[in-house]
Amino acid sequence: MIKKVNTIISPTWIYTADKNNTVLEDYSIVVKEDEILDIHPTKNVFDTYDANDVFVLSDHIITPGFINNHTHTAMSLFKGYANDLPLKSWLEDHIWPAEKKHVCEAFVKDGSLIAIAEMIKSGTTTFNDMYFYPSQTAEAAVEMGIRANIGLVVMDFPTNYASDPEDYLKKGFEFRDDWRNEELISTSIAPHAPYTNSDKTLSLISTYAEQLDLSIHTHLHETEDEVKNSIDQFKLTPIQRYNNLGLLGPNLVAAHCVHVDDQDLILLQQNNVNVVHNPSSNLILGSGIADIPKMLDLGINVTVGTDSSASNNRLDILEELRMAALLGKGLSKKPDIFDAKTALKMATYNAARSLNKSKIFGSIEVNKKADIVAINMDSIFSQPVYNPLSTLLYNANQGGVDYVWINGTLKLKAGQLHNIDLDRLKNIANSWKTKIKTT
């Protein structure tokens, strides 16, 4: 008997990101409601299923939706606002004053909408965020239909959003309670960084995270100065300090980890800490280059992120994967490491695992949520295709992303945002630009 389903997608290739990193040829993905019901040989899929929507994508490779594991989405309104400046001046003379002047609920909602449009157009189906006014980011995510893990940010100094650690935590937990039934939204607790949080606050966060079974999202070892200052102040590296305060563990998602010595690497390894590599941001801000090949050798779970539009004008995960692979090869002088499967897994399964969601999404497998991306391999930039995964990693970028489904819903169709008013978003960007430039 033929079963009614919602969608059948029949590409040439599927990169599954499953346990064996399987690549399937001439298989179809059968979607029922928000889930992958079956992965079936294309030659007889239509004998078994009848779908409302059928997508025959013979020029395409399918991958699990990408997970951008370190973002500050609202900052897309500062995209290109202060490039090519020394880090200190960038932060103190430009970004912080601009944040003080402009960051409010409307800024966060609008900036998040624009970032999410960029992310969907480049194949991202989940982002792991940290910023102020989390409700606004969540609203934008649900309005756009993207999955978001939202960090409840905590700092020891006041901002427009909150006055002190207690206030940040209170607002964070209120947000968490308000949004707990929205299936696209999940939460982490997010101590901003070792240099913006006191021991007292970090201990408190460690306790909350354990009690509430929350993952933790933080910046860690981003710059040489951060490590040096910590040693000066605490006689400990930030990683050692986090270890003493009980923060290192499999629920910690640590962004950057650029300057990590061998002892600290062992601490990350032994505690099963998840690392987010942000290669473009680390280069643009002059922070340096993380030694990802060494982390992979140690079995550390490495994921990938873009960081914000203020420090990496592109929110394009395919670009970050290519950058990660190229830097890994160039730095290690080993062109045979960091192949396409290694890279693609960072942005899919590994990231889902870091968020404790790998049973729900992050791979193309039966019963997983239907977070699916189809990328065109037929352009003159990709042809000839000898190895589809390799072509995907080295040639593709957002221009090839043609279809995106999130939670079973079509969000990008033939390269165009589906049921999303792009002109409205551009107008929003433009009106904020005028405001930010002139005040």
Position among 34, 385, 409, 413 found at the interface with a second copy (CB under 8 A): 385
Does the protein bind a second copy through residue 9 (CB under 8 A)?
Answer: no
The span from the CA of 15 to the CA of 23, in Å, is 5
359-378 residues in contact with a second copy (CB under 8 A) are 378
The least distance separating a second copy from the CB of residue 143, rounded to whole angstroms, comes to 15
The least distance separating a second copy from the CB of residue 193, rounded to whole angstroms, comes to 18
Contact region with a second copy (CB under 8 A), list: 61-69, 112-120, 134-142, 348-356: 112-120
75 vs 209 by CB, closer to a second copy: 75
Position among 47, 213, 232, 336 found at the interface with a second copy (CB under 8 A): 336
The least distance separating a second copy from the CB of residue 339, rounded to whole angstroms, comes to 4
Position among 107, 127, 175, 432 found at the interface with a second copy (CB under 8 A): 432
Position among 139, 291, 316, 320 found at the interface with a second copy (CB under 8 A): 316
Does the protein bind a second copy through residue 198 (CB under 8 A)?
Answer: no
263-282 residues in contact with a second copy (CB under 8 A) are 280, 282
* Closest residue by Cα to residue 229 from 275, 266, 286, 221: 221
Does the protein bind a second copy through residue 87 (CB under 8 A)?
Answer: yes
38 vs 110 by CB, closer to a second copy: 110
213 vs 336 by CB, closer to a second copy: 336
* Closest residue by Cα to residue 126 from 45, 71, 87, 207: 71
205-234 residues in contact with a second copy (CB under 8 A) are 224
For the purposes of burial, counting CB atoms within 10 Å of the CB of 238, is it exposed (0-12), middle (13-18) or buried (19 or more)?
Answer: buried
285 vs 372 by CB, closer to a second copy: 285
Does the protein bind a second copy through residue 416 (CB under 8 A)?
Answer: no
Does the protein bind a second copy through residue 102 (CB under 8 A)?
Answer: no
Position among 246, 249, 250, 399 found at the interface with a second copy (CB under 8 A): 399
In this structure, which amino acid lies at residue 360? I
The least distance separating a second copy from the CB of residue 322, rounded to whole angstroms, comes to 9
Q: At what angle do helices 105-121 and 134-144 cross, to 10 degrees?
A: 40
Question: Residues 114-153 vs a second copy: string with x where CB under 8 A?
Answer: x--xx--x--------------------------------
The number of residues that bind a second copy (CB under 8 A) is: 68
Tell me, letter by letter, the H, E, C secondary structure of the chain.
CCEEEEEEEEEEEEECCCCCCCEEECEEEEEECCEEEEEEEHHHHHHHEEEEEEEEEEEEEEEECEEEEEECHHHHHHCCCCCCCCHHHHHHHHHHHHHHHHCCHHHHHHHHHHHHHHHHHCCEEEEEEEECCHHHHHHHHHHHCCEEEEEEEECCCCCCCCCCHHHHHHHHHHHHHHCCCCCCEEEEEEECCCCCCCHHHHHHHHHHHHHHCCEEEEEECCCHHHHHHHHHHHCCCHHHHHHHCCCCCCCEEEEECCCCCHHHHHHHHHCCCEEEECHHHHHHCCCCCCCHHHHHHCCCEEEECCCCCCCCCCCCHHHHHHHHHHHHHHHHCCCCCCCHHHHHHHCCHHHHHHCCCCCCCCCCCCCCECCEEEEECCCCCCCCCCCHHHHHHHHCCHHHEEEEEECCEEEEECCEECCCCHHHHHHHHHHHHHHHHHC
Does the protein bind a second copy through residue 296 (CB under 8 A)?
Answer: no
The least distance separating a second copy from the CB of residue 310, rounded to whole angstroms, comes to 11
Does the protein bind a second copy through residue 424 (CB under 8 A)?
Answer: no
267 vs 385 by CB, closer to a second copy: 385
170 vs 334 by CB, closer to a second copy: 334
Contact 122, 401 (CB under 8 A): yes
Contact 152, 133 (CB under 8 A): no
111 vs 165 by CB, closer to a second copy: 111
Position among 52, 163, 367, 430 found at the interface with a second copy (CB under 8 A): 430
Position among 90, 161, 168, 405 found at the interface with a second copy (CB under 8 A): 90
Chain positions contacting a second copy, by CB under 8 A: 77, 79-81, 83-87, 89-90, 114, 117-118, 121, 224, 280, 282-289, 312-314, 316, 323, 326-327, 329-340, 378, 380-381, 383-387, 390-391, 394-395, 397-399, 422, 425-426, 429-430, 432-433, 436-437
